[in-house]
Amino acid sequence: MTTDAALRAPLHRWRRRARLLPKGWDNAVGQVLMMIVSLICVFPVYWMIVTSLRPENEIFSSALWSDAVSLDNYAYALGTMPMVRMLVNTFTVSLVVTPVQLLTGILAGYAFARWRFRGAGFLFGAIALTWLVPLQVVMIPNYLLVARMGMIDSLGALILPHVASAFAIMLLAQAMRSFPSEVIEAARMDGATHAHILWQLIVPNLRGTLAPLAILIFITTWNEYFWPLLLTRSPENSVVQIGLQMFITAEGTQWGPLMAASTMASLPILLIYLVLQRQVIASFMKSGLR
C-alpha cells in the first residue's frame, strides 16, 4: 500500500513524539484486542456445544474439551420435549413469513418508487414510524385481537403481525428508486404492463437486495421470542425459542439438555451463517445503513 510509504516519510515530526512506544505497537494492541473480543464473542457458543455433548457425569467439568462425546443430552431433550415439532413449527413460521414479507415489501416499494400519488409522503412516514413502536406498547391490544380471532396458541397468529415490515418496504423502495428509469421507460414503450415491469424486469434484477433481505427476515423471524411468548400455550404449538425455557425450572436447571436444545435451536441459523457468511453480514449491514 502507498500509505505505508507515506507513513515512513521523513516528514513525520509528530511521529517522533509517539516513539516512546515501539513501532507498530498500535497494530499489536489491535490484534490482541481483537483476539480477546473475538474469544468473548465465540466462546459462549463453543461452550454451549461442548456442554451439550458431555455425558451426564461430566456436565460440571471445566475441561475445555472432553474425549467422551455423548448424545445423551440430545436424546433426553428430544424425549421430554416435542423438540422436532417445535423446530418444524419455527421453520414453518419463518418460511411463510419470509416470502410474504418480501412480497408486501416489493409491492409497497414499487408503489413508492414508481408513482407520485396523494398521501405518498404521509404513508411512507407512517410506515417508517412503525419501527419506533415497541411491541410491548401494543402487546395487549394485539393479544386481545388474536384472542377475538380465536387464534391463541396457533401458528397463524405468529405469522400474521409479520405480514409486512417497515424495514423491508423502506429498503426495497430505496433499491427500486435507484433502478435505472431508462430501462423501465423502454419496457413501457414496448407496451409492458406494470406487473410485467415489476416481476420480469425489476425483481430479477434486485436479487442482490432481495437475497440478503430474505436471510435477514428469516433469521429475525427464527429468533423471535416475545410474540410467541405471549401467544403459545402448549409445547406442540410453540416455537423452539419457547421450548428452551422449559428446561429451566424452579427446582434447578438441566444444563445438559438445555444446552442440547439451545444448540438445536441455533443450529439452522449457524449453518446459514457458515454457508452464507458474506451475505448474512451484508444483510445486517444494510439494516443499519439506510
Partner 1 sequence: MSDAPSRVHVSWPGQARRRNTPLRRGDRALRPYLYLLPAVACFVIWVYQPLFEAFMLSFRQWNMLPVSPKHWVGLDNYCNILELPKFWQALSNTWYYLLGLIPLAVGLPLVIALFTQDLPPRLRNLYRGLIFVPMIIPPVVAAAVWRWLLDPGHGIINLGLQKLGSSPVDFPYDPDITLWTITFITGWKLVGFATLILSAADAAIDTSQIEAARLDGASKWEIIRDIRLPLLSPTLMLLILMVVLLGAQWSFAYIHVLTEGGPLGSTTNIYYLLWQFGFGSLSVGWSSASAVTLFVGVGVGVGFGLLAAALFALKSKVTFHDD
252, β-bridge pairs? 249
Spatial contact of 206 and 276, defined as CB atoms under 8 Å apart? no
Provide, rounded to whole angstroms, the least separation between the CB of residue 113 and partner 1: 10
11 lies in the binding site for partner 1 (CB under 8 A): yes
Member of 6, 21, 68, 71 binding partner 1 (CB under 8 A) = 6
Spatial contact of 227 and 134, defined as CB atoms under 8 Å apart? no
**Which residues from 215-244 bind partner 1, rule CB under 8 A?**
219, 222-223, 225-226, 229-230, 241-242, 244
How many chain residues interact with partner 1 (CB under 8 A)?
105
Spatial contact of 232 and 238, defined as CB atoms under 8 Å apart? yes
**Which residues from 117-176 bind partner 1, rule CB under 8 A?**
117, 120, 123, 126-127, 130, 132-142, 144-145, 147, 160-161, 163-164, 166, 169
Q: Of the two residues 181 and 200, which places its CB atom closer to partner 1 in the complex?
A: 181
200 lies in the binding site for partner 1 (CB under 8 A): no
Q: Of the two residues 95 and 137, which places its CB atom closer to partner 1 in the complex?
A: 137
Closest C-alpha among 259, 150, 172, 167 to residue 221: 167
Provide, rounded to whole angstroms, the least separation between the CB of residue 181 and partner 1: 7
89 lies in the binding site for partner 1 (CB under 8 A): no
Nearest 10 degrees: Cα torsion 146, 151, 152, 155: -110
211 lies in the binding site for partner 1 (CB under 8 A): no
Please name the residue that has the C-alpha cell 512506544: 21
Provide, rounded to whole angstroms, the least separation between the CB of residue 153 and partner 1: 15
Residue 32 in 3-state DSSP?
Answer: helix
Nearest 10 degrees: Cα torsion 20, 21, 24, 30: -140
